[in-house]
Structures are given as C-alpha cells and as structure tokens.
Structure 1
Amino acid sequence: MNQTSARSDKLRQVVVAISAVVALIGSFIGSGAAGGTPIQNASNGALAADATLIAPDGPAFSIWSVVYLGLVAYAIWQFLPAQTKQIRHRLLGYPAAASLLLNAAWILSIQFDLLWLSVPIIVILLAVLAWIFVLLLRYRPSNTWDALITDGTMGLYLGWVCVATAANVSAVLVASGFAGFGLNPNIWSVLVLAVAAAVGIALALYGKGRLAPTASLCWGLVWVAVARLTGDLLSTPTAVAALVATALVLIVTLAARFRATSSTRSSRSSRSSGPAATA
C-alpha cells in the first residue's frame, strides 16, 4: 500500500514537472523567441492592445514572467519530501498540471490562427484555476513558503486569467464581426468590466481577502485603463469603468481581509481566555 502511494506521488510530481516544461516552451513560442509569432501579432492582431476596448496595454503581459517563475518554483516545491504526502499537494497536482497544459494549448491555438478554439480552452483553464482556488482555501498551507509559492502563484494565475478571459472573448467576438446588437461599443466594454469587477469581488469575499488574485486582476484592469487613455483606441468611459472596477475590487478585498483577520484574532482571544486558560 505504501509502495503504491509512493509511486502515485512520484507520478503526480513528474506529471506536474513535465507540464511546467511544456508550459515554458509554449511561453517561448508565444513570445516569438522560439520562432513563433508574438501573441499580440498572431491571429491578424486580434489580441493586440488596440484590437478591442477590453484589451490591456502591452506592459500588462509582463505579469506572465512572474506567473511562470512561480509555476516553476511550484513544480520544484511539490517535489520536496516535506510536500510529497501532503493532502493539499496530492489534490492540487493534477489540476495544476492541467492548467499548465491548457496554457500551452491556448498559445498554440493562437499561433495556428484558431482564434475560435482559444475561447473554450481559456474558459476551461479559468474553471480549473477556480477549482484550484477552492482546494487551496480548503486545505491550508503548511508554512509561509507554501503560502507564497503555492497560494501566491495560483492566486496570481487565477486573477490574470480572469482578465485574459474577458479580453479573449471580446477579441473573438470583434474578429468574427459581432456588431453588439447595435449597442455602442462603450456600453459593451463597461458591461464586461462590470462582470470582471463582480468576479473579483466574489473571489475576494470567498477567499476572505486573498491578495494574489486581486493583485493580478487589478493589474490587468489598470492596464486596460491605460490602453484606453493613451493608446490608439481611445475610450474614456472604458478607462473610467476599469479604474472604478479596480477600486471596488481593492476595497472589498481589503475589507474582507480585515474582517477575516479580526475574526481570527477574536477566536484566538476567546480560546485563550476560556476556563482552561484562566484555571
């Protein structure tokens, strides 16, 4: 039984490591460094900063460097003996591997001009990351390093993919000739940003103020605002909506975190002042 568990753990760890390598190769292809077309130029520029009102400005995508660095750190971290048998890593391993492979699949769909295929891929990726978020909340980190490497990385990954999903769907609709049922594009952009804000608020409340998802989601929203104020495709209503969405998500996150921290302190205080503590 122990040998079976050991083999299962080793297989999971190897799958995560291989998936991380595949994702890194995909990132090099997507950056244009390995002969591929940079994402912003692929698919006839459908994902360029001036392709849609929801597209973030170019520098926003630098967050991928941080996310990939964290994912590599996680792939190494989950190999360490102290993490091998932990229930959170046993449950997290295959969903994490799936997210890495979906990431690479998304890049390939863009590289091969299969823009329509990128939507179901990124939606599934978002669902997998949401499930990972649930698992991480259900099974607490063993120490500060685990919280930073595992929870921090996956949180940044989730928050950014929330923004990327909105931008991706918008790009596909525009590229397909969707006219918005005659509504002004600014109305659509504000509605999409309102949905992004609602998702961010939901994550903040459910996660009791987790900072990583909020940080990357707000990073993306701010760069949407920058693109609409300074880029080739200007839109003051979109920029204002993005900044308002950012502020709302930040406020709710900080409030939820303060409430969770206060609740934890109150609980500890109650236990320490109970009959056993005062005896």
Structure 2
Amino acid sequence: MSSYASNTRTSRTSSGGSDLARLSTVSICFAACIAGSMVGVGVFGGTPIAEAAGGALSADATYLAPAGSAFSIWSVVYTGLGLYTVYQWFPSQRRSDRQRSLGWLVAASLVLNAAWILTVQAGAVILSVVVIVLLLAVLALCFRRYATTRASGWLEAIAVDGVLGLYLGWVCVATAANTASALTAEGFRGFGIAPEAWACVVLAVVAGVGAGLAAAGRGRLAPAASLVWGLAWIAVSRLNGGLESVPTAVAAVAAAVVVAAVTVAFRVRAVRTAASVKEAR
C-alpha cells in the first residue's frame, strides 16, 4: 500500500509539473507572438507587413490579396488568444484533458505566427509560405482535436472553440493570399493561364476547404465567420483597389456564400440531431 501511494503521488507530481510547463509555455509564446505582431505593424520600428518584402503582400499585389481593412481581424484573434491564455490557467482547466491535447499545439501556432512575421520582415517571402503552411497544419490539428469533443460551457466555447476557429479560418485565407504573393514575387506566370483564372480556381479550393470544415465541425460558426470575412475583403479589394477584377470579385463572393450556406446547413442539422436525441431520452 505504501509503495502504491508513493507511486500515485509521484505520478500526480509529474503530471502537475507537465501541466505547469505547458501553461507557462503557452503564456510565454503568447507574449512573444504579441511582440512579433507589434513589429509587424511597425510599432517597434519594423516595416508594416503590407510594405515589407517590396510590397509583395500589399492589397494590390495579387488577385487574392484582401483589402487592408481585412487584417483588423488580427486584433480580434490576438484578443481571443489572450483570453485563451488566461482561461487555460483557470483551476478547472489546468488539468483538463482537452487543454492537455491543445496547449502545446497552440504554443506552436504562436511561435509560427511570430516566425511568419519575422520571415516577411526579412523579405523571405518563399520561406513565409513554408511557415504559414506549417501554421495552418497545426491549427487544422487543433480543430480536429477540439471538434471531436464538446466545450464544458459557454466560456470554453468562446475561449477555445471560438478563438481557435477564427484563427484557423483566417489562416486558410491568409495561406492562399501568401502563396499567391510569393509565386508572383518569384516571377511565376501561371503556365500561360490568366491570373484571374488561377484566382478563381484557388477561391473554389478555399470554398471547398470551408465546406469541409463545416462538415467536420458539424457547422461550427467561428471558422466560417473568418473565412467569409477574408473572402468578402478579397472581393472588396478586387472591386475598389488598384488591381480590379470583376470575375475574381464574383468568385470570392460565391465562395463566401458557399461557405456560409454549407455551414448553416450543417449547423441546423446538428441542432436538430441534438434535439432528437434529447427528446428520445
């Protein structure tokens, strides 16, 4: 009995130490990410992202670049990540299996976020694509993990599911825009295919990704909200910016409508299924 009790205490101590390391790492990475974002907007003397790398990521650089106002969503995402960072320290969450499955991934996403800003500041646009693809992969894995379980309440639904969903949806749009910018900067000419045609194809792929997230997440609203936001601002940029393209704008609006419609459909289905199960009980 004494040996069993000793092993149990050791296990708890080890688990507690691991939890503390995870919580602390997320907090440190969040601080680093915020510092990186300040560099990205020029607060600490860095060149704003839209002007870095010779303007490769400006609103008029490619047909897939959103208007500048679209990037205000980062304020919401960063505020949400701050909420997540605080929330994970709640006594009820420190040893939560859900937090344990997500914490290290969230920390990795924060590091990659800051790394992306630094690579763009350094003018390494191709490398920035590698970084943002890794970021997208990490957030997709987060989505896969939290989408299979339910939040314990409304606060967790916002601080975890909502925040990470917005983050993922926006990075989907940002990855498409970043890739287009890098290819354009490197002189890619689309194998003779018109840039507008490529833009429409990519927007169709983004719509497919949004529909896939809606299906996998049973109509989760947050990823769809930021996806629709990004797509809408691509349309605005193509109608009012320096690189006008009505076909691309129409394709962006169509993609946004598809993502919204499919998400609502799966959401309604999920609500009806939950209501049927409740009635059956």
- SS of the aligned residue for 1:138 comes to coil
Matching of residues 67-106 of structure 1 within 5 Å? 67-106=77-116
2:45 partner letter: G
**Cα distance in structure 2, aligned partners of 1:220 and 1:34:** 27
Counterpart pick for 1:28 among 29, 38, 41: 38
1:240 is aligned to 2:253:
no
Matching of residues 57-68 of structure 1 within 5 Å? 57-68=67-78
1:16 is aligned to 2:36:
no
Q: Calculate the TM-score normalised by the size of structure 2.
A: 0.96
- Paired position in structure 2 for 1:2: 12
Counterpart pick for 1:127 among 119, 130, 137: 137
**Cα distance in structure 1, aligned partners of 2:118 and 2:140:** 23
Q: Deviations over 1:27-81 (max 9, x none)?
A: 0000111111000000000000000000000000000000000001111110111
- Paired position in structure 2 for 1:215: 225
- Paired position in structure 2 for 1:274: none
- Paired position in structure 1 for 2:264: 254
- Paired position in structure 2 for 1:108: 118
TM superposition shift of 1:139? 2.6
TM superposition shift of 1:270? 1.0
1:19 partner letter: C
Q: Deviations over 1:132-175 (max 9, x none)?
A: 00111123211110000111100000000000000000000000
**Cα distance in structure 2, aligned partners of 1:226 and 1:138:** 35
Matching of residues 224-239 of structure 1 within 5 Å? 224-239=234-249
Q: Deviations over 1:152-207 (max 9, x none)?
A: 10000000000000000000000000010001111001001000000000001111
- SS of the aligned residue for 1:81 comes to coil
**Cα distance in structure 2, aligned partners of 1:129 and 1:255:** 24
- Paired position in structure 1 for 2:47: 37
2:100 partner letter: R
- Paired position in structure 2 for 1:169: 179
Q: Deviations over 1:197-239 (max 9, x none)?
A: 0000000111110000000010000000000000100000000
2:77 partner letter: V
TM superposition shift of 1:104? 0.2
- Paired position in structure 2 for 1:47: 57
1:233 partner letter: L
TM superposition shift of 1:112? 0.6
Q: Calculate the TM-score normalised by the size of structure 1.
A: 0.96
Give % identity.
52
Unaligned runs of 5+ in 2: 1-10
- SS of the aligned residue for 1:83 comes to coil
- Paired position in structure 2 for 1:206: 216
Unaligned runs of 5+ in 1: 272-279
Number of equivalent positions: 271
Counterpart pick for 2:276 among 248, 259, 266: 266
Q: Deviations over 1:104-143 (max 9, x none)?
A: 0000000011111001110010000000001111232111
